[in-house]
Amino acid sequence: MLSFIQSPATPFKPLFNFKTLKPPPKPHFSKPIQSVLQWNRKPQLAGETPRVVVITSGKGGVGKTTTTANVGLSLARFGFSVVAIDADVGLRNLDLLLGLENRVNYTVVEVLNGDCRLDQALVRDKRWSNFELLCISKPRSKLPLGFGGKALVWLVEALKSREEGSPDFILIDCPAGIDAGFITAITPANEAVLVTTPDITSLRDADRVTGLLECDGIRDIKMIVNRVRTDMIKGEDMMSVLDVQEMLGLALLGVIPEDSEVIRSTNRGYPLVLNRPPTLAGLAFEQAAWRLVEQDSMKAVMVEEEPKKRGFFSFFGG
Amino acid sequence: MASIYTLQFNSLSSSHRLSSNVVKKHTRTEFALSYGKLSLNRLPVPRNFELRAVSSDGDHHHIKTEIVAVARQSKSPPVARFQEIVSSLPHVAFVMEKYGGSSFAIWLCFATAFLVVVVKVYMSRKSRYSPAGTVADLVRRGQLRSDRRGILQPLKYEDPFNNPMVKVGKGNSTIEMCGKVYRLAPVTLTEKEQATHQKRRSRAYQWKRPTIFLKEGDSIPPDVDPDTIRWIPSNHPFATIASDIDEDVAQDNMYQKHGVPFRIQAEHDALQRKLEMLQNEQKLNKIVIDSSNAKDLERPFKFNRKSHEPAEQNPFNIQSSNSRPPKSDQAPNTVGSKSSSEETTKT
């Protein structure tokens, strides 16, 4: 079933006003949708744009950058304009995952110094033209402590007021830890996605980070449980997703299964969600992006079971 | 005495070979199909001809009749030629009879190869064909972005919640995916439990965003919440208390949408001024000093040998001092920015 969405529904108005022979004023839409859709349905954007989302975890290596890259590209494929910011001042990785490392010439530090404009520092992805990357700094440059938060706030304001329009989503890839980098990254954010794995160390750090986010005024926090192994959960060697939720008390945005394709996609610089056919992890990222757009959360999780034993006549379709 | 020999040809059948000195020349006939794929080599058919040399000097006794095989003359009658072809047919027929069982297979292979070639040629022609001078050419050449054009088919995106690879069970409680069976377990977190967790965290983690960053040893300013002070160790790798960036300038840089970036423009202007200065100095150095005018510029002094030297140098000093612009005009922006930055850090 194809659906062509051209503009939000408006009451019918005549083309011309016959009394004055003047065309009626054009209605002002919040955001004209320009893409012609070929899939069954499109997620309905909820909340005010731009939605500034920080993707954080506390513990390093749980999949923040992978989540940022895949969710960001999924949002771009849905037709939304996305700006992904790598807020790690010292260690930059998001450009590697996206395969854009050779195209990063300017960063936010150069913009602040006056070496380039903001639009020159934005790297547009050639695969999806509505996805842009912005890095905070190059590895050896310094950003004064306490100044980074202000810089990010100015950055978001500048993106809102740019000529091609405000982006729909601004995703901020937060560095690990709860140090100055974390404080810088969460400064302009309105909502947060907490990435965690089902192990006790990650859960403890995630709980601490959630507390800091709530102290800073960010209340809309959802979690993504990454690197889930359903076979280990079945064998009770790993905490289940429901156990994780019980410990943290956060709404579930997505459950990403462990997938070796993640490493291959990192090596290629080709995010997982672009694979055809999609992998399990890629599907899960797309679903998480869908829920992020609609500000929804998971209502059920999948638990692995033993496959049904097929009888003799099952071969014939019984 | 020269003897003139004339050659007489008599064709003989291959069965009549009379002399061991017969020189056989095999004619090979090769023919190939016009498509250049198949070629056939006929078996050589030995043809023997009787060659008789007749000398004109009348010595007939020494004539030797040598049967030699020579190439057929092109002037041989067509009937004889046709007869020879027909006579060679039994060989082909013999071969066909020998391999009669697989002739169908051979012809089938030929037909298949021919069909494959035809299909390949057709496909290549179809891919190469394109109407000339359309927008598709611009996209192909990279002048236009293909994702913004309607000429190419847009990517079909599968709904992640309605993916055919995921099979939902009849009772909607089981899902089959990638060879594994999963059961749906509902989420049990309630809003009350969420609120309880939030209260727990607010009690456990009390944190205020740091607004003041001080080095170790600095005094705490008055009327400042100690919880908002961040102490930075001196060996911190990214600790820069003294801000090298002017905040106002940085904010303006961030909001700049058009034109040359500020720092590039400032460097360009400074370079431009430096070039102008150098050019002015070079012009002044080229000016030739007139002695009559130089005397007017000299100051009255007492006659003293020692005083002559500084008097001679005076006009040059006056000129060189005039050529130097005041130092305060050099790079006003950088100085101004430094002073303003110092002021902001002090405040």
What pLDDT is stored for residue A60 in this prediction? 93
What pLDDT is stored for residue A1 in this prediction? 41
For residue A309, what pLDDT band results from cuts at 50, 70 and 90?
Answer: low
**Poorest-pLDDT segment among A84-93, A137-146, B52-61:** B52-61
Q: Does A290 touch chain B (CB under 8 A)?
A: yes
For residue B210, what pLDDT band results from cuts at 50, 70 and 90?
Answer: confident
- pLDDT tens, residue by residue, A105-115: 999 989 998 99
Distance between A285 CA and the closest CA of chain B, angstroms: 9
Euclidean distance between CA atoms A172 and A89, whole angstroms: 12
Q: Which helix (H) or strand (E) segment is B46 a member of?
A: strand B45-55
Cα atoms in the Cβ-side hemisphere of radius 13 Å centred on A164: 12
| pLDDT over threshold 90, residue B108 | yes
For residue B292, what pLDDT band results from cuts at 50, 70 and 90?
Answer: low
Is A182 within 8 Å of A211 (Cβ atoms)? no
Evaluate the omega torsion of the peptide bond into residue A277 and state whether it is cis, within 30 degrees of 0.
yes
**Chain B residues whose beta carbon lies within 8 Å of the beta carbon of residue A119:** 257
- pLDDT tens, residue by residue, A237-266: 899 999 999 999 999 999 999 999 999 998
Mean pLDDT of B58-77: 48
- Interface contact flag, B187 A252, Cβ < 8 Å: yes
Tokens read off for B63: 């004539």
Q: Does B243 touch chain A (CB under 8 A)?
A: yes
For residue B296, what pLDDT band results from cuts at 50, 70 and 90?
Answer: low
The residue with greater pLDDT, B143 or A33, is B143
Distance between B213 CA and the closest CA of chain A, angstroms: 7
Euclidean distance between CA atoms A171 and A68, whole angstroms: 7
What pLDDT is stored for residue B282 in this prediction? 86
Which 3 state secondary structure label does DSSP give B164? Answer: coil
The residue with greater pLDDT, B238 or A220, is A220
Q: Does A260 touch chain B (CB under 8 A)?
A: no
For residue B142, what pLDDT band results from cuts at 50, 70 and 90?
Answer: low
For residue B119, what pLDDT band results from cuts at 50, 70 and 90?
Answer: very high
The residue with greater pLDDT, B26 or A289, is A289
The sign of the torsion formed by the CA atoms of B112, B113, B118, B122 equals positive
Going along B127-170, which residue ranges are E strands? Answer: 167-168
What pLDDT is stored for residue B67 in this prediction? 44
Q: Does A296 touch chain B (CB under 8 A)?
A: no
Distance between A110 CA and the closest CA of chain B, angstroms: 9
pTM: 0.60
Mean pLDDT of B158-174: 68
- Say what the ipTM of the complex is: 0.73
Is A111 within 8 Å of A118 (Cβ atoms)? yes
Q: Which of A113, A143, A220, A239 to mutate to test the interface with B (most CBs of B within 10 A)?
A: A113
The sign of the torsion formed by the CA atoms of A229, A235, A239, A241 equals positive
For residue B7, what pLDDT band results from cuts at 50, 70 and 90?
Answer: very low
From B175, B151, B154, B150, select the one nearest B165 (Cα to Cα): B175
Q: CB contacts < 8 Å between A and B, how many?
A: 189
- Interface contact flag, A299 B187, Cβ < 8 Å: yes
Name which of B154, B189, B240 is nearest A245 (Cβ-Cβ): B189
What pLDDT is stored for residue A52 in this prediction? 97
What pLDDT is stored for residue A314 in this prediction? 55
Is A156 within 8 Å of A52 (Cβ atoms)? yes
Q: Does B263 touch chain A (CB under 8 A)?
A: yes
Euclidean distance between CA atoms A292 and A70, whole angstroms: 13
What pLDDT is stored for residue B87 in this prediction? 74
Mean pLDDT of B53-59: 47
**Chain A residues whose beta carbon lies within 8 Å of the beta carbon of residue B266:** 114
What pLDDT is stored for residue B209 in this prediction? 83
**Chain A residues whose beta carbon lies within 8 Å of the beta carbon of residue B167:** none
Q: Does A308 touch chain B (CB under 8 A)?
A: yes
**Chain B residues whose beta carbon lies within 8 Å of the beta carbon of residue A299:** 186-187
Please report where in the chains the tokens 């490493």 appear, as a residue. Answer: A263
- Interface contact flag, A77 B157, Cβ < 8 Å: yes
Q: Does A208 touch chain B (CB under 8 A)?
A: yes
Q: Which of residues 234-253 of A touch B (CB under 8 A)?
A: 242, 245-246, 248-252
The residue with greater pLDDT, B186 or A220, is A220
Percentage of chain A surpassing pLDDT 70?
81
Q: Does A48 touch chain B (CB under 8 A)?
A: no
| pLDDT over threshold 50, residue A50 | yes
For residue B130, what pLDDT band results from cuts at 50, 70 and 90?
Answer: low
The residue with greater pLDDT, A233 or A21, is A233
Name which of A112, A242, A286 is nearest B250 (Cβ-Cβ): A112
**Chain B residues whose beta carbon lies within 8 Å of the beta carbon of residue A233:** none
Tokens read off for A220: 């809309």
Q: Which helix (H) or strand (E) segment is B203 a member of?
A: helix B191-204
For residue A40, what pLDDT band results from cuts at 50, 70 and 90?
Answer: low
For residue A73, what pLDDT band results from cuts at 50, 70 and 90?
Answer: very high
Distance between B161 CA and the closest CA of chain A, angstroms: 7
Q: What is the mean pLDDT of chain B?
A: 64
Q: Does A232 touch chain B (CB under 8 A)?
A: no
Helix/strand/coil (H, E, C) string of chain A? CCCCCCCCCCCCCCCCECCCCECCCCCCCCCCCCCCCCCCCCCCCCCCCCEEEEEECCCCCCCHHHHHHHHHHHHHHHCCCEEEEECCCCCCCHHHHHCCHHHCCCCHHHHHHCCCCHHHHCEECCCCCCEEEEECCCCCCCCCCCCHHHHHHHHHHHHHCCCCCCCCEEEEECCCCCCHHHHHHHCCCCEEEEEECCCHHHHHHHHHHHHHHHHCCCCEEEEEEEEECHHHHHCCCCCCHHHHHHHHCCEEEEEEECCCHHHHHHHHCCCHHHCCCCCHHHHHHHHHHHHHHHCCCCCEEEEEECCCCCCHHHHHCC
For residue A30, what pLDDT band results from cuts at 50, 70 and 90?
Answer: very low
| pLDDT over threshold 60, residue A186 | yes
- Interface contact flag, B159 A40, Cβ < 8 Å: yes
From B54, B55, B46, select the one nearest B23 (Cα to Cα): B46
Euclidean distance between CA atoms A216 and A213, whole angstroms: 5
Euclidean distance between CA atoms B93 and B89, whole angstroms: 6
Please report where in the chains the tokens 């997620």 appear, as a residue. Answer: A43
Is B10 within 8 Å of B50 (Cβ atoms)? yes
Q: Does A131 touch chain B (CB under 8 A)?
A: no
| pLDDT over threshold 70, residue A94 | yes
Euclidean distance between CA atoms B175 and A305, whole angstroms: 10
| pLDDT over threshold 90, residue A53 | yes
Tokens read off for B292: 């009559």
**Chain A residues whose beta carbon lies within 8 Å of the beta carbon of residue B207:** 211-212, 215-216
Q: Does A150 touch chain B (CB under 8 A)?
A: yes
Mean pLDDT of B21-33: 43
For residue A135, what pLDDT band results from cuts at 50, 70 and 90?
Answer: very high
Mean pLDDT of A161-181: 92
Distance between A265 CA and the closest CA of chain B, angstroms: 20
Percentage of chain B surpassing pLDDT 70?
39
- Interface contact flag, A146 B211, Cβ < 8 Å: yes
Q: Does A166 touch chain B (CB under 8 A)?
A: no
For residue B205, what pLDDT band results from cuts at 50, 70 and 90?
Answer: confident
Is B229 within 8 Å of B212 (Cβ atoms)? yes
